[in-house]
Structure 1
Amino acid sequence: MAERLAADGTAVVAHYSSNAAKADEVVAAITTKGGHAVAAGGDVADETAMGALFDTATEHFGGIDVVVNTAGIMPLGPIAEMDLATFDRIQRVNVRGTFVIDQLAARQVRSGGAIINFSTTITRLQNPSYGAYAASKGAVEAMTLILARELRGRDITVNAVAPGPTATPLFFEGKSQQVIDHIASLNPMEHLGTPEDIAEVVAFLAGAGRWVNGQTIFANGGAA
């Protein structure tokens, strides 16, 4: 997504939690092609750290026009068996983290800008073992729609993208090849989505899609 937005001429701050090396790779990929990018770290649920992240964007590029909030974790387990510490960790990253970013974005994104959160198609599929994760993303969708209405008159769009199964490290983690193949076969396209597929939806919402506001866009190949 960072590289796709940079290709449209957007200067990018690539955020990371702990993997600075990966963020540096993204920055290098963008700058090698003539784009503008810097990396900055921090805990997405820590308002002070994220305030510093937003300050980095303003200091380097003069202001903030687009915020894409993809940070999330997905530990799985049946509701009856999941320990509450894991549940709390999911909600801290996925719900509080989104709230912190949306709060800062609502204060700082300039007129004509876009705020893009991330939900999941699991909120429709409702698969067993995804209860805590789906609950967190249901909260993200609710925040997204309400923030769009709270920003009335600001000319800022607020939407959520809800990917289906997508070929990312988060998706592959803990799954056998048999399980991966089965999940990939469930949608009418009969394959996993790619990060590039999702990046195109984000680029649309960040750019030409100005009449799309207060929506959750399901990008899942027809899985739900």
Structure 2
Amino acid sequence: MARNDLKGKVVLIAGGAKNLGGLLSRSFAEKGANLAIHYNSEGARVDAEKTLADVKAAGAKAFLFQGDLTKVANVTKFFDEAVATLGGIDIAVNTVGMVLKKPFVETTEAEYDTMFAVNSKAAYFFLQEAGKKLNDNGKVCTIVTSLLAAYTGLYSTYAGAKSPVEHFTRAASKEFGARGISVTAVAPGPMDTPFFYPAETKDSVSYHTAASALGGLTNIKDIAPLVEFLVTDGWWITGQTIFANGGYTTR
């Protein structure tokens, strides 16, 4: 089977109900994959059920899993249900994230704990379960942020909590490589989705829109093909964080 052949493969997606995750769920289904789709809260149920209906209409076997992935037991249960329901896992993608834009001196302990739980802890144990449960020659990709390469204030807990995922990616790729498993992270620029706008003002939206060399906010349609490439033909790329942001930041 060609590495880019997704027919019959099982793809597990954390945050797979809407925005980038929803687009990936639909795209993988259209290419013949079966889906384990996670969503976090009741507020996302309608989107999750619509995504499930769409992927099933594309011919995929699929199921929904609701749970707070900051609780490790839920991460384990999600992977276990994918194995039990779909027979194994070939690809795991984690799109989960949470933004807080706030001055350093105003951030509370509770906000710090929540941000690191969502952006760092959940990502760590997602990778851990992938290392335990993925089939040999599996693929893992985590969505981080291009703010990792920015010199800026106000996002200390968001960029700070995503930054450990770069090392988690390197460490996991080194440890899982003997089984043919590649591990990558993708760092989009500010994405034109409902995830982006609540933390921003009209002026900051204008700034972010103008900051990329190619102009405009990142479109999820430009990120999904990169994720798909990394978990298929691009499998030889491992341990890397790929900045895909139209020239918003670089290293």
The TM-score normalised by the length of structure 1 is 0.95
- Deviations, residues 61-113 of structure 1 (Å, cap 9, x unaligned): 10011110111111121212211110110001111101111111100111111
1:159 aligns with 2:146: no
Equivalent residue letter for 1:136:
A
Q: Is the 8 A contact 1:118 1:140 kept in 2?
A: no
Which residue number in structure 2 is paired with residue 124 of structure 1? 149
Deviations 1:40-76 (A, max 9, x none): 1111121211211112211221001111011111112
Distance in 2 separating the partners of 1:68 and 1:105: 10
Establish whether residue 6 from structure 1 lines up as the match of residue 29 from structure 2.
Answer: yes
Q: Is residue 76–residue 130 contact of structure 1 (8 Å, CA) maintained in 2?
A: yes
Q: Secondary structure at the match of 2:105?
A: coil
Are the equivalent residues in 2 in contact too, given 1:46–1:100 (CA < 8 A)? no
Q: RMSD value over aligned CA atoms?
A: 1.3
Q: In structure 2, which of residues 235, 238, 241 is the aligned counterpart of residue 210 of structure 1?
A: 235
Deviation at 1:182, TM superposition (A): 2.4
Structure 1 residues 51-66: aligned runs within 5 Å: 51-66=76-91
1:1-224 to 2 correspondences below 5 Å = 1-18=24-41, 19-224=44-249
What stretches of structure 2 of length at least 5 have no aligned partner?
1-23
Deviations along 1:161-191, one digit per CA (max 9) or x if unpaired, are 1011111111111323443232111111111
Q: Which runs of no fewer than 5 residues in structure 1 stay unpaired?
A: none
SS of equivalent residue, structure 2 residue 69:
coil
Aligned length: 224
Amino acid at match of 1:5: F
Q: 3-state DSSP class of the match of 1:151?
A: helix
Secondary structure of the residue aligned to 2:206 is: helix
Helix, strand or coil for the counterpart of 2:138? strand
Amino acid at match of 1:38: F
Give the letter aligned to residue 193 of structure 1: T
Q: Counterparts of 1:202 and 1:208 in 2: how far apart (Å)?
A: 11
- C-alpha contact 2:99 2:199 (8 A) present in aligned 1: no
- Give the distance between the partners of 1:46 and 1:86, measured in 2 at CA: 17
Aligned to 2:12: none
What's the offset of the Cα at 1:152? 2.8
Matching residue of 2:20: none
In 2, the alpha carbon distance for the partners of 1:212 and 1:140 equals: 16
CA contact (8 A) 2:69 2:122 kept: yes
TM-score scaled by structure 2? 0.86
